[in-house]
Amino acid sequence: MEETLEVLNLLVKEGKVRYIGCSNFRTWCLERASVVYQRGAGVSSYIAVQQQYSYLRPKPGADFGITVNVDDELLDYLHAHEDVTLVAYSPLLKGIYGDRQKREDYYNWQLFNNDDTQVRLESLSKMAKELGVTSNQLVLAWLLHH
């Protein structure tokens, strides 16, 4: 971690990059980077973390390999560290919100398919119809306001 931040800091000092961010970091890694930043005067810190984040929550203990989904711990960390921004990727989960067949064909569907997901999809569908928008549009609106 220290070596990585030193190299990234050098790139900032040389003007090759303005800010640094990370992707698929666990919250403890962000915290460790923050400690390194606080120890080293003038060392750049991550200003963004890019994680998979969507309205549907994965099953507890779901294994996505190297992909890290946003969880409550990360959200708490981000609320406490307003200098770090979340950059969500794959918020539409390959467009599965409005299409049952896409959900069933989605390679990670088994990691999301649970009772909580079914309740969320039903609520989303009902609200999307009431508002005259697609479920995907509603998920993007949720993300922008969350």
**81 and 119 co-located in one domain:** no
**141 and 115 co-located in one domain:** yes
Q: Are 84 and 78 in contact (CB under 8 A)?
A: yes
**74 and 138 co-located in one domain:** no
Radius of gyration of the chain (CA): 18
Residue type, 34: S
Structure tokens at 47: 């200003």
Domain ranges, residue 1: 1-90
**58 and 112 co-located in one domain:** no
Q: Is 17 helix (H, G, I), strand (E, B) or coil?
A: coil
The CA distance from 76 to 121, in Å, is 25
The pLDDT tens digits along the chain (146 residues) read 778 888 888 999 999 999 999 999 999 988 888 877 766 666 778 899 999 999 999 998 899 999 999 999 999 999 999 989 999 999 999 999 989 999 999 999 999 999 999 999 999 999 999 999 999 999 999 999 98
Give how many domains the chain has, as a whole number. 2
* pLDDT value for 38: 64
The CA distance from 29 to 46, in Å, is 11
* pLDDT value for 39: 66
* pLDDT value for 40: 64
Which of 56, 72, 90 is the C-terminal boundary of a domain?
Answer: 90
